[in-house]
Structure 1
């Protein structure tokens, strides 16, 4: 990837396909020529506002053409794109501002007030610009040459992970292009494909997987500004969508629609799913429609997707996320950094072209996480004899009960096998006998005895892994902006489980 950048690919497709649709959202569509002109206008305006190569520029708002144009405009100036979570409060945004020191924030109208409130205690606050007017003609001036250095940062993706402390994951042109190249090796149908993006552009999955990657690979992107399962499914059929990716809940909600079985989804060639456990029932439902769901694995620090299981493996082993990549190594390591034997859980380590450079201005954490050429994910996995990887939990989402490790994801997967269970999340509850014990929070379709859930788990897992508390909810589980279950919110809500709910006796 020497002497080349993401911008070269985008400009090349604009020359080769000027009149071909590149990007659409709701009822508006832009050709490659339209998109390039809008991006250049946005970049010219940013330069007029004082943005220079290497500066950080935030973009804040929901899925929209304005957001996409602003983001590409930032990259076009040679500045570093900082996607901001549109759900953040002013206090949360202020912490991100302090971490990244953006010179400007391009905000959509609904988010402008919070973007400005977050500036109040900042000594050198960013300029807050309107995303709706950024690409309107008016500003004049020459655009800087962003250069050909592939090691230059493209974006810094803020993330707090499980700690709540802001971090910035740095991606360079080289890491993005390397990852996109590998994706094309593993799934050639991604080349030139029409992609449906359902995910917020403030996260790696939406920004990189669902937006930049399809454009760099010569395809087109349709974005859905507001999630609606029926609208999404209709778009797949009417727009002949070829690829898409999303968290499990998107596919569950589409499969639950009365029209699901009669809708033509045959255009879908590559579909990735993840973020929460995927059940056999969901895979079978989509397979009946001729669509193979492929459970990918990744995290913000690894460009969101690093494993691409085949459709065959997803059907044979729905609990598996594949065997790694063509150019990317995925290993299960023990506490001493040695590879684990098949069947032995360990931490997942990743090395490959799509791994992030590190964390913004945090050498210590970068060395701890990325040192030695490996990304230490903090996720726990296990390989089988075929090399297929199964995710069993997080090193920080483990319940230590009587000295035994219980991984939440493994127990959640077992509970979700029950057809009556719509959602499930496992957290730890304090316990006088074992120190900590698993509690499962569930939302069900109709009544189901708690004892039946416990017995179901004991038939599938070692007795000590079964939940000792079952908490029923009438409302959906809280989710983050990326639609993953928000464990932090659940732990804050359920602080008195032993005092309020029946405890099922000692497991054998």
Structure 2
């Protein structure tokens, strides 16, 4: 192993007795010394299984200490960690496994029966799975590892086409963590709860790795329950946390949230998708600090910082670029747009991914020089605060007008009877596309006429949905986001 790359080993030397990880399912915990020792033991097992530098090591598991075991073991021997999305269908999972070609596969017993076809090299039954497999006296030789060598490969959501393996180098993960620590003022006193699935970059890299690099504590929970989440934030004295908007939507409706004070929490962070303004209001009404972030698998995922007090004044903004990355918002010709004009968001920095695995064409298309083309639309106000307008592919063009679904969604979501909403463009012979809104209600009944009148209070006439569909529940992707592609596919011919 190479000590310049192995930061978990260095932290274990300097702060060996500080608590690193807590398993909320069992209430077991591990110090930095113990986490590093687990990684060294697992690295020895991988070496014994002929895993070499550049080989892929896959893990199929719920949120569990094994994610950190395998990440840090791969860090030590130059292997590439591939967390597998357990929410995928068998066909989708087979595609990812065939595409990544892992030399070693570990499967948690929760999924072992369902996915016997994986023929795993290891079944994880308990937190002591490493000790039960420990092979004594297997030396870890010095491996020539550079910062640009791959450390992890996280597959994108795959809502359009096949999932792509975003290759994150040691540099990508390290600089995302450093940038987050310095920009967000994380310290060894910080503690977070990770319930976002760790096969997702938000679960693995948004707060988990930055807080560990800073020397703080990460609490892992294998499942998400809104009542349990509130209870654990309080019991473990968490200081910061990341949930996706769907999770916050559930949390703010619980009685426990309404009664809780959260005495140790510095700030609640939302990411993964634009957050409804009703969630902002729920935290504002309790006097709790709340802000929104922005990222994606290929970029960190952390890119912006906003002070929670400023977030109150600029609701919906993700803030300004963090210390060690750059942004620009451009038109179709790559020229920067004016203030308050929507354009595509481009990112630049050492936190960016290196390439898409086995996909040179997609990699070339994703970059112009050192700039990564996110495919997301954004605007910047006169004070420099950035607002995400949605995916470029989701922009609706109806009768020649550009319409941004997020603006409509935010307004409809603010109605007290609306539970969730998604706005999409459906094909139309005359207008090209027509604005359609899919709405689930909190309770009771609501007519289309009521929603139209509500939209007329705020929206220009051409932005008001021409079709409303009342649905019991909106479809979700594998990472919990509303699946607009599924809606377009199902309703395009109606």
- Taking structure 2 as the reference length, what is the TM-score of the superposition? 0.93
- Secondary structure at 1:323 match in 2: strand
Could you say which residue in structure 1 is the equivalent of 2:448? Answer: 450
> Secondary structure at the residue paired with 1:301?
coil
Matched, 1:414 2:387: no
State the superposition RMSD in angstroms: 2.1
Whether contact under 8 Å (1:116, 1:128) holds in the other structure is no
What SS is found at the alignment partner of 2:316?
A: coil
Does the Cα contact within 8 Å between 1:292 and 1:311 map onto a contact in 2?
yes
CA contact (8 A) 1:272 1:293 kept: yes
Counterparts of 1:259-270 in structure 2, within 5 Å, are 259-270=256-267
Give the counterpart of 2:231 among 223, 230, 234. 234
| 1:397-452 CA distance string (max 9 Å, x none) | 12221222222222212211212111011122232331221111111123222222
Partners of 1:350 and 1:297 lie apart in 2 by 11
Work out whether 1:203 is the aligned partner of 2:200: yes
Tell me if 1:50 matches 2:46.
no
Verify the 8 A CA contact 2:164 2:356 in the aligned structure 1. yes
Q: Give 2:89's aligned residue.
A: 89
Give the Å deviation of 1:3.
8.4
| Equivalence map 1:215-230=2 (5 Å) | 215-230=212-227
Change (3 A) 1:51 1:114: farther
Task: State whether residues 328 and 353 of structure 1, in contact with CA within 8 Å, keep that contact through their aligned partners in structure 2.
Answer: yes
- Gap regions ≥5 residues in structure 2: none
Query: How many pairs were matched up?
Result: 486
- The answer to whether the 8 A contact 2:71-2:152 is kept is no
Shift of 1:377: 0.4
Q: Are the equivalent residues in 2 in contact too, given 1:70–1:131 (CA < 8 A)?
A: no
Kept after mapping to 1: 8 A contact 2:42/2:134: no
Aligned pair in 2 of structure 1 residues 148, 430: CA closer, same or farther (>3 Å)? Answer: closer
Q: Give the secondary-structure state (helix, strand or coil) at the position aligned to 1:189.
A: coil
Measure the CA separation in 1 of the matches of 2:145 and 2:189: 24
Residue 321 of structure 1 aligns to a residue whose secondary structure is strand
Q: Deviations over 1:172-203 (max 9, x none)?
A: 11122222222122211355411111111101
Greater mean alpha carbon deviation, residues 378-387 or residues 108-117: 108-117
Does the 8 Å contact 2:157/2:478 carry over to 1?
Answer: no
- Aligned residues of 2:267 and 2:308 also touching (Cα < 8 A): no
Q: What secondary structure does 1:396 align onto?
A: helix
Query: Quick check: 1:460 aligned with 2:458?
Result: yes
In structure 1, distance between residues paired with 2:132 and 2:255: 43
For the 8 Å contact 1:190–1:270, the answer to whether it is kept is no
Q: CA deviation at 1:134?
A: 4.2
Give yes or no for contact 2:58–2:106 (8 Å, CA) kept in 1: yes
Find the partner of 1:21 among 2, 19, 22. Answer: 19
1:297–1:305: 8 Å Cα contact kept in structure 2?
A: yes
TM value normalised by structure 1: 0.90
Which of 119, 122, 127 matches 1:129? 122
Residues 292-311 of structure 1 correspond to what in structure 2 (within 5 A)?
292-311=289-308
